[in-house]
Amino acid sequence: MADVKNPKVLATPVNIIVGSHVWVEDPDEAWIDGQVTKITGKDAQIQTTNGKTVTEKLSKIYPKDLEAPPGGVDDMTKLSYLHEPGVLQNLKARYELNEIYTYTGNILIAINPFQRLPHIYDSHMMQQYKGAPFGELSPHVFAVADVAYRAMINELKSNSILVSGESGAGKTETTKMLMRYLAFLGGRVATEGRTVEQQVLESNPVLEAFGNAKTVRNNNSSRFGKFVEIQFDKHGRISGAAIRTYLLERSRVCQVSDPERNYHCFYLLCAAPAEEVEKYKLGKPQSYHYLNQSHCYELVGVSDAHDYLATRRAMDIVGISEKEQEAIFRVVAAILHLGNIVFAKGKEVDSSVPKDDQAKFHLNTTAELLMCDVKALEDALCKRVMVTPEEVIKRSLDPQSATVSRDGLAKTLYSRLFDWLVDKINNSIGQDPNSNFLIGVLDIYGFESFKANSFEQFCINFTNEKLQQHFNQHVFKMEQEEYTKEKINWSYIEFVDNQDVLDLIEKKPGGIVALLDEACMFPKSTHETFANKLYQTFKNHKRFIKPKLSRTDFTIAHYAGDVLYQSDQFLDKNKDYVVPEHQDLLGVSKCPFVAGLFPPLPEETSKSSKFSSIGSRFKLQLQQLMETLNSTEPHYIRCVKPNNQLKPAIFENQNIMQQLRCGGVLEAIRISMAGYPTRKPFFEFINRFGLLCPEALEGNYDEKAACQKILEKAGLEGFQVGLTKIFLRAGQMAELDARRAEVLSSAAKTIQRRIRTHISRRRFLAVRKASVDIQSICRGVLACKLYQNMRRQAAALKIQKHIKRHQARVAYQKLHISALVLQTGLRAMAARREFRSMNLNKNATLLQAWWLCRRAVVYYKKLTRSCIVTQTRWRGRVARRELRKLKMAARETGALKEAKDKLEKNVEELTWRLQLEKRLRTDLEEAKAQEVMKLQNTMQEMQKIIEETNALLAKERETAKKAIEEAPPVIQEKEVLVEDTKKVESLTEEVESLKASLETEKLRADEAEGKYKELQESSEEKRKKLEETEKKVQQLADSMRGLEEKLANIESENKVLRQQAVSIAPNKFLSGRSRSILQRGSESGHLEARAAIPDLHSPSLNLREPAEVEEKPQKSLNEKQQENQELLIRCIAQHLGFAGNQPIAACIIYKCLLQWRSFEVERTSVFDRIIQTIGNAIETQDNNDILAYWLSNASTLLLLLQRTLKASGAAGMTPQRRRSSSATLFGRMTQFPWSATSGVDSLRQVEAKYPALLFKQQLTAYVEKIYGMIRDNLKKEISPLLGLCIQAPRTSRASLVKGASRSVANTAGQQALIAHWQGIVKSLGNFLNTLKANYVPPFLVRKVFTQIFSFINVQLFNSLLLRRECCSFSNGEYVKAGLAELEHWCYKATDEYAGSAWDELKHIRQAIGFLVIHQKPKKTLDEISHDLCPVLSIQQLYRISTMYWDDKYGTHSVSPDVIANMRVLMTEDSNNAVSNSFLLDDDSSIPFSVDDISKSMEQIDIADIEPPPLIRENIGFSFLLPRSD
């Protein structure tokens, strides 16, 4: 290859014509696009998009891909034109869409968004990338970590991830995400406290305080390399970590260039609280030599005082004690004071002493802080000990040498302090000595090029050159693997790396580092002599350049560009002595911390001073780092800072280009350009360039042959055809595009010609039609005028006719009116004459009528008076006759008796009526009580009168008898007559008075009755209201009672749960207490047996022959109970099937438990054994049939328990007391477990004890577990099919571009795709049939399918959002067809079983509807978000809109205004982590409760369940037999 200094000149000249869209360099925007308007020789005139016209050489302009996706490509190796402007535009387009990650092969470029994007780092996203093939999903840091982890696990080899970039580019955040994902993949070893990755991240503030400093470009630049080793055990779990530091910039401690700063810790300590500053005798940073070499002391927006406290807190977190922290900052303060010790010439020759009192003060303070002797410190700085074979010579140092010694001590102190901090952090984190492999994350400073570049930039750039060589080798290796994978010939591709630059710097002898060490060893060497030595040595080296205007500067052509170095301080910064005096002085310090920094050295190294080169040490550490990296499989992440303002949505092209160049991304592109930079899959190549060779599409060729036909017709050479891709050399893509443009241009011209012909003909036809129309109009005007004349003549004739007719009609009407007037008058006269005659007749008739009426009235009155007189006389005659009869009857004795009887009857009737009135009055109010009393008194008086009357009658009768006997009959008769008549009259009067009083009382009673009725009506209304109120109170009381019972049940169940936790594992369900019950025998089973005896042998339920009943077993009752339980367990362990739609096993279990009163005993083992049987049945079952069988049984049994059991109100109630509760009539009625109706609603409530409640909780847990197992089995079954449904369009889409001749293959592809969906439908159908066959409640079936469809929705939707190739128009059509299959299945399954499952697909349905809708650019955001996709969030719509591409019709996504509006709405919600998440979460919870099951299931008839043969003949289970009526 040619020179690699500038990668832009490596591109092969391309076919640029007038009208081509190209990229041209711009001083402000780096690259700007435009259109070629003119070509003159080798120059081209370009009209740029910003309105400027520029002229540039053809070799410096690059073609623009007009068919590049608006949102860019996720892997830049897919770019049609792989060059600088193409890379920059792709990154910019993706950054504008918040796509911060982009691949370049397997290199990840991460652009710092400077805003929170939590949705791309949550656990859902981790789950998506777990195990996904690299490149299948959108670029992400998780994908790189996943590849590294999988390679480590599969290949059993350590991996490394190299994270590089400027400070502020996001290296720390990227490292944090890497460690989070690695912890998510492998889990962690169980440790107490913080996790390993947390501890590593918590150490960052400490390392940044002591290892970071402000440079020209960055305020927080790392001045050391950090390699974090994340260690894994044999199970792939994080077991430890270690931080390895490399290449600390030691020279910065003593020498700082303006406007940079020294390490942060010095400034933090100066800004510490006042008591700290006073303790260390510090002042402002301006007063210290090591800090005031630069005029920058503070950072904008940064508080050193706040950072000091933060650093102290970080030290506490990583385990540095308060005492150690005090010692650390004492050393930092000592270094500052040490730098202010200035030396002057002493009295002796070449000697030095502290210059003044200020220097002595700092000397004393340094000795005090380091806890060493002041004199010894001064001697260590100003004198040297020379050890010879004969003697030990102590010589003095001149002031310059003493200053060098002082700076050497400061650098040694600081570097050892930094190493101690790293070791302390590693000890705090904890390392795994048994770790098998690791994943390392390297975070190191990037390439630096400033206006003034010194020794520090030289070492840093040397490091980056070394890393770039490693990077280039890796990239070339990846290129080779790609070529080998595609089986193409690549042997002739030349690879040129930067080994010549590395030889220039590090080669021995003769390299720059070696010459620098050599110059440092000579005392009289200066930077001029060193520079001249470089000029002479490398004058012919192509990478070394001597400036024309400088005698000490030199330039090195690095991979990232030329860097001019100033060698003025190279010698001073490279010198570093290991001084024994410093070692001896601080090794015996009274401070244990300082003494620990200087452990004893081997004896041979402690005799004399030894020169140590920082450059050589730097090179040695770099070599160790490269050995570590070479032992691992590398992965690269290049972090980029889009702008220096550290603000979002700002993309500075020049800044980005510089970082890409320094990060080696452009170098990787250069390597790709050296081979085959353009790689197109066959179907994409055919889709784009098939028009160059139509016969290749019309013939029956496969894709590979069609591609070869196209390339052969194009006449290209040097290309390669792989297994799945076409590989093109640099420039060939542009040539193909140029030919394609020519073909399209020719086609466009043909279309234009046809269009123009069509337009001209249409115009001619329009003119001809217009002329015909004008002629027609003119002729029409003439005809109109002729017609008007004819019309006027006709109108005149018509007017004359009408006028004549009008005149004749007027004359006729006058004559007619006159005739009518005459006729009217004559007729009126005749009518009046007739009226007068009729009036006379009428009056005469009236007079006659009045006279006849009067005569009839007079006659009637006379007749009436005659009748009355006659009647009166006749009635008088009859009365006199009756009177005579009465007088005759009065003389008889019987008349008196009859009168008496009548009176008695009247009295009795009155008495009955009074009593009736009395009863009525007793119901009246208290206000009528007095009147009732009066009536009673009156009645009593009347009774007395009647009694007196009776007595008088009896007395008179006796008197009459005596008188008749004594006197003559006539006289006596007269006397008796007189007496009786008087008595009758008196009695009659009394009766009349009584009747009057009775009438009065009746009136009063009626009034009272009326008032009573009114009161009764009001009381009736009040009673009705009271009854309604009582009903409401009763309802409230019932509901309150139900709630109290439910609360009591819940409290009791909670109490049970607190006593013993539910264990799901089948082999653990048999509790220790239950096992002890089984082992204790009859002693513990006595209570159970005693409780079970009455029901087991109840004559009311025993239908067997009496002889069988009399055969009592000889075994104990407890053993009999255990045998029955054992038999039941053996029975239910079999598949008993179903009776009707009821599971037999559940009904048998429920009947037995209820009959044995197991729910009411304090101790029993039957529940644990039933649970253990269920657990054993489903323990390792993947058979959905068995799981469905037990789900049906468990849910039915749970329903029966839910409607039967209630928590016991009194836990300590004795069995006798419980039995007494059923002694009432209702209790006797409910003795039987089930009534004649045999429904669940008629089951009696049983007070459950602890074992029963525990059994219910365990059964609930098993229902949930079996439900989850069935659901997860179906998920596992359809998951591979869902993946095929998403990936299938990738294979079938290629056949769409081959025209009608490929229709058969296209149809086959569609059928293959539908086959995947039909496979899902078949799985759903089989699953539904299994559940139906086992009579699983429809409620649970609906819940299963609802969650399954939700799972399908989540998987398809998340795949759609994470894979750009799925967000296409054709893929939307495919998925839409598959969703139609699911909809058809839901229709066939009916709502009883499918329920609302179809509604769970709302996200994917709306997303697919958006993909296949036409005219997307015309849709507004309101229409999209409210009409088309109301369920999708703005983040999801934004993701789909930016990832959409039309591979079928070439249409565009929504308009840029809609995208901008979406971005604004997303920015407003940027702080809401929930709203920012565009992925859906699969809900694996249990979507129902026991109450839901109870409410949803119908009544269960358990009365007529036929017991299985195993227990049918057993006398102990006779109660299970169906009872006849």
Query: E strand or H helix at 143, and its extent?
Result: helix 141-155
pLDDT, average across residues 713-740 = 81
SS3 257: coil
CA 1042 vs CA 90, 1045, 1256, 1488: distances in Å:
68, 5, 19, 21
Catalytic choice (86, 211, 446, 690) = 446
Please confirm, yes or no, whether 221 is among the known catalytic residues: yes
pLDDT tens-digit readout, 563-620: 999 988 888 778 776 677 888 888 888 889 988 888 886 654 444 445 667 788 888 8
Q: What is the number of other CB atoms lying within 10 angstroms of the CB of residue 882?
A: 10
pLDDT at 1292 over 60: no
Side chain identity at residue 1180, one-letter code: T
pLDDT at 1018 over 50: yes
166 marked as part of a ligand binding site: yes
For residue 1030, what pLDDT is reported? 75
Torsion of CA 1026, 1029, 1033, 1035, to 10 degrees: 120
Average pLDDT for the chain? 79
- Residue 1241 or 345, more confident: 345
Catalytic choice (168, 211, 440, 587) = 168
pLDDT tens-digit readout, 232-246: 888 888 888 888 887
- Residue 942 or 870, more confident: 870
For residue 771, what pLDDT is reported? 94
pLDDT at 769 over 50: yes
For residue 969, what pLDDT is reported? 46
533 marked as part of a ligand binding site: no
Q: Residue 267: pLDDT band by 50, 70, 90 thresholds?
A: very high
SS3 108: strand
Which residues partner with 212 through β-bridges?
Answer: 222
Catalytic choice (448, 482, 684, 1160) = 448
* Full-model pTM: 0.62
Q: Residue 978: pLDDT band by 50, 70, 90 thresholds?
A: very low
168 marked as part of a ligand binding site: yes
pLDDT tens-digit readout, 478-488: 777 777 788 88
Least-confidence region, from 20-24, 319-323, 591-595, 999-1003 = 999-1003
Residues above pLDDT 70, as percent of the chain = 83
CA 1029 vs CA 770, 1018, 1033, 1037, 1042: distances in Å:
92, 16, 6, 12, 19
For residue 1471, what pLDDT is reported? 52
pLDDT, average across residues 1187-1202 = 86
Catalytic choice (102, 160, 222, 454) = 222
pLDDT tens-digit readout, 522-565: 877 888 899 999 998 998 888 899 988 888 899 999 888 899 99
- Using CA atoms, how far apart are residues 219 and 222, in angstroms rounded to an integer? 10
pLDDT at 313 over 80: yes
pLDDT, average across residues 1102-1107 = 37
For residue 1112, what pLDDT is reported? 44
Please confirm, yes or no, whether 222 is among the known catalytic residues: yes
pLDDT tens-digit readout, 797-845: 999 999 999 999 999 999 999 999 999 999 999 999 999 999 999 999 9
For residue 603, what pLDDT is reported? 54
For residue 649, with 0-12 CB atoms within 10 Å meaning exposed, 13-18 middle and 19 or more buried, which class applies? Answer: middle
pLDDT, average across residues 1229-1243 = 39
1395 marked as part of a ligand binding site: no
Query: Among candidates 719, 680, 721, 715, which has minimal Cα distance to 701?
Result: 721
For residue 1243, what pLDDT is reported? 58
Please confirm, yes or no, whether 1140 is among the known catalytic residues: no
Please confirm, yes or no, whether 15 is among the known catalytic residues: no
pLDDT at 1083 over 50: no
- Using CA atoms, how far apart are residues 1064 and 1267, in angstroms rounded to an integer? 14
Query: Among candidates 1165, 1192, 1204, which has minimal Cα distance to 1070?
Result: 1165
pLDDT at 1071 over 50: no
pLDDT tens-digit readout, 179-232: 888 888 876 654 555 677 777 778 888 998 999 998 877 788 888 888 888 888
The β-bridge relationship of strands 1138-1139 and 1205-1207 is: unpaired
Q: What is the CA radius of gyration of the chain?
A: 58
Task: For residue 513, report the phi and psi dihedrals to the nearest 5 degrees.
Answer: -65, -40
1325 marked as part of a ligand binding site: no
Query: E strand or H helix at 281, and its extent?
Result: none
Q: Residue 773: pLDDT band by 50, 70, 90 thresholds?
A: very high
pLDDT at 734 over 90: no
- Residue 1088 or 1354, more confident: 1354
Query: Among candidates 1515, 1518, 1509, which has minimal Cα distance to 1137?
Result: 1509
- Residue 1051 or 263, more confident: 263
pLDDT at 8 over 50: no
For residue 1313, what pLDDT is reported? 58
- Using CA atoms, how far apart are residues 322 and 220, in angstroms rounded to an integer? 26
- Using CA atoms, how far apart are residues 1498 and 1240, in angstroms rounded to an integer? 9
Please confirm, yes or no, whether 167 is among the known catalytic residues: yes
Q: Residue 327: pLDDT band by 50, 70, 90 thresholds?
A: very high
pLDDT at 324 over 80: yes
pLDDT at 1481 over 70: yes
Catalytic choice (138, 218, 352, 1518) = 218
- Using CA atoms, how far apart are residues 671 and 82, in angstroms rounded to an integer? 11
Beta strand residue intervals within 490-551, DSSP E: 544-545
Catalytic choice (172, 311, 672, 1441) = 172
For residue 863, what pLDDT is reported? 92
pLDDT tens-digit readout, 1435-1470: 888 888 888 877 777 777 888 888 888 888 877 765
Please confirm, yes or no, whether 160 is among the known catalytic residues: no
For residue 114, with 0-12 CB atoms within 10 Å meaning exposed, 13-18 middle and 19 or more buried, which class applies? Answer: middle
Torsion of CA 864, 868, 869, 875, to 10 degrees: 160
pLDDT, average across residues 106-120 = 84
Beta strand residue intervals within 1303-1406, DSSP E: none
- Answer whether 977's CB lies under 8 Å from 891's CB: yes
pLDDT, average across residues 920-936 = 70
- Rounded to 5°, the CA angle 1071-1077-1080 comes to 140
SS3 162: strand
pLDDT, average across residues 337-346 = 91
Q: Is the dihedral of CA 1208, 1211, 1215, 1220 positive or negative?
A: negative
